[in-house]
Structure 1
Amino acid sequence: MSAFQPVVDALDALPTTAFLVLNRGRVVFDHGETSTPHFMASARKSILSVLYGTAVTDGTIRLDATLDELGIDDTGGLLPQERRATVRDLLTSSSGVYHPPSTVAGPEESAPPRGTQPPGTLFLYNNWDFNALGTIFERCTGRSVFTALAEDLAAPVGFEDFDPARQRLLGRPEVSEHLAHHIFLSARDLGRIGTMMLQDGRWDDRQVVPAAWTSESTSVQVNRGADVQLDYGYLWWLPRLVGRGSFMAIGNFGQYLLCVPPGLAIVHLRAVPDDIVLARTQGTPLPAPIDSVSPQQFMKVVRLMSAALRP
């Protein structure tokens, strides 16, 4: 029996669409529809962090710039205290801005009352922060997030399946002017991002993302306490149990990119039909139920893969 058979059996028991493992850029395991672009869900946020790297490094975006300085407001107006939140506060999901997001609210539904938490004091996974970061990127750089994705990542890293027309700006503009930049990528293109990040932002002989940013954005910016297994960087999750220096992108339904130094990139994708994507972003009932792959289920497959890769 192949060493990978337990991995295959575990994946076959899940609603997995694609599973891909790269070691220093070399494919060591390929399962399912790894060349088909799929909805990234919240994994998009880690990709946005990657795009921020060059703009922060060259001073186009200042991490200490406040929303007030950047002219960021929203429907009904932000509170004076909320306007003092910085770009860094948003990147660490600690803004203290609890304005309703344009996309359907998730953890924000349990947020404290507006104006009760000063910026930078409370970590609360907050889609308003992430959506506003897209607006800030576009205003400061003069380029759309999707243009930057195509020019700054897809081209230099050599995406194989990238479709610019597939990317979508979604949300409810009547709720918030900051819409969500939803990204659709294949497992093998997402794996290339992970490999590039593990190589300190380099791809072949090109520095795609500044090395200092790859280190800072995937280092602990928010220590979430002894009882929590995931710390937070700049839009990256940092799993304590996988190993020092590891980082993850996580998206609802089962979208994962786990990067384990020195060079292991593990991708899991679960296809999400477009009508369900639209329903989620518009706040309407889902047209049909959809099974998800939980972080615990994903990590079980990761452990099986780790065992299969041992000499």
Structure 2
Amino acid sequence: MNVTKLIRLVVLPAIGIASIGQAQTLEAASTAAAKLAASSVTADFPSSSPEAVGVDSQPLIRMSEWIRNDKLDVRSLLVIKDGKLIFERYSGGLVRDNNYELYSVTKSVTSLLVGILNGEGKLGPNDKVVPGIVAAHPELKDALADKQDLKVRDLLSMSSGLFYKQTEGSDTLYYGVPNRLSVAAKSQAKLPPGKEFDYTDVNPVLVGAMVSAAARQREQKFAEEKLFKPLGMSHYRWDGIDQTGFVSGGWGLRLRPIDMAKLGTLLLNDGQWQGKQVVPAAWIKQMTTPANPVLAKDYGYYCWINHIVEGQPEFGAMGFKGQFITVLPKENAIVVMTSLLPTDGGLRDATYLQMYRRMVNDYILPALQAGKKVAPSAARQAALTKELRLSQQSKGVAGTATAFNDPPEF
């Protein structure tokens, strides 16, 4: 068995000072594999006990107990504080290297790619959409004829005025589509751009086409070159490629939670990763500021703002069924979750969203705000270690129908 496969079998959540080395599986592994697993944590985020950075582990334990006792299908839940990994929870035998379908978290990645191109002078929010797409796809000229005033910023802010009627179960915009861009290009220009907030998935398809045209390569390849590799990501895959070779700019990306946290770090640190400017700081500010407060005060450029927390700065990404990257600048913290939770409700009040709000507001924020009230102790660490081990061995019940793309992968 090679070392990579061995690590996949043995690596368990990093849970602080007394974390990985205590797991029975790791005790059975070779010393070399253990060292490699530990070094991979250090290369991403150094691990720390919560109390060592002024975080109270007890609310985190209570949150984990609630998730476990109620059998909520939370596959991963991570908390990064001051650049350190202080809480890493998995369930059902899952490990760090599993990746997950991120659904609309993908949109935020597309926005970051636009920001990179903007910094290179190749694509800007005020660029008109039709000339860029028609130059690369002249066959779509007639389909785009009613969209001459449409700009990139209108697509990024979900205020394009485009209308697309989704067909449940057999929609040609999503998976198994021959030509997704052609479907999006034929959507109806219902309103002039900038008049209404309407969260429709034709918008990121068109943005993805603009990214590909400006970068002169497929969006997934540009993302790998400019984002995934510079951030040291692994086990990533952009699913849902249509018969023309294009992915969707709005869904289909699969990432490990630890790599989702790196995207959160870019948002938190003004586009920097480990001292390197990956995305221009000016773009991060623009992306995380309401694009049109009159239409949607909680939405920037494919970025939700104060969607989870009120009363202090908060922004991040959200995906269907409960995929989240949440940035808490005041706490210098990032929260990441992947899950399969109930989907009933609307865009701003879905059950999975309400559950996640409870996790962040009732448990994670109080834990982060402990400050000098807590100190590291063997008893606290033992309690956290025990709970995370129980969580890793437990398995939640899916809160909604499981689609073909929902199972975790390596």
Partner of 1:232: 299
Partner of 1:107: none
Partner of 1:275: none
Superposed displacement of residue 83, structure 1: 2.8
Partner of 1:288: none
Deviations 1:97-135 (A, max 9, x none): 22457128xxxxxxxx93441012111001000111111
Cα distance between partner residues in 2 of 1:56 and 1:200: 15
Partner of 1:168: 239
Partner of 1:36: 98
Unaligned runs of 5+ in 2: 1-56, 166-171, 176-186, 342-349, 371-410
Partner of 2:367: 308
Cα distance between partner residues in 2 of 1:308 and 1:163: 31
Q: CA RMSD in A?
A: 2.8
Cα distance between partner residues in 2 of 1:67 and 1:190: 29
Are the counterparts in 2 of residues 70 and 136 from structure 1 also a CA contact under 8 Å?
yes
Q: Measured at CA, do residues 11 and 35 of structure 1 come closer, stay the same or move farther in structure 2, by a change above 3 Å?
A: farther
- 2:156 partner letter: L
Structure index of larger Rg: 2
Partner of 1:282: none
The answer to which structure has the higher helix fraction is: 2
Are the counterparts in 1 of residues 215 and 222 from structure 2 also a CA contact under 8 Å?
no
Partner of 2:173: 102
Q: Measured at CA, do residues 293 and 191 of structure 1 come closer, stay the same or move farther in structure 2, by a change above 3 Å?
A: farther
- 1:163 partner letter: H
Partner of 1:254: 322
Please, what TM-score do these two structures have when normalized by structure 2?
0.61
Q: Quick check: 1:266 aligned with 2:335?
A: yes
Please, what TM-score do these two structures have when normalized by structure 1?
0.79
Aligned to 2:316, what secondary structure does the other structure show?
A: strand
Aligned residue runs from structure 1 range 1-311, under 5 A: 2-12=58-68, 13=70, 14-32=72-90, 33-72=95-134, 77-78=142-143, 80-99=145-164, 102-103=173-174, 114-159=188-233, 162-164=234-236, 166-170=237-241, 180-181=248-249, 182-223=252-293, 231-239=298-306, 241-262=309-330, 263-270=332-339, 294-303=352-361, 304-311=363-370
Are the counterparts in 2 of residues 172 and 179 from structure 1 also a CA contact under 8 Å?
no
Cα distance between partner residues in 1 of 2:364 and 2:155: 34
- 2:334 partner letter: A
- 1:237 partner letter: W
Matched residue pairs, number? 275
Cα distance between partner residues in 2 of 1:194 and 1:265: 6
Aligned-residue sequence identity (percent) comes to 24
Are the counterparts in 1 of residues 107 and 302 from structure 2 also a CA contact under 8 Å?
yes
Q: Which stretch has the larger CA shift, 78-87 or 51-60?
A: 78-87
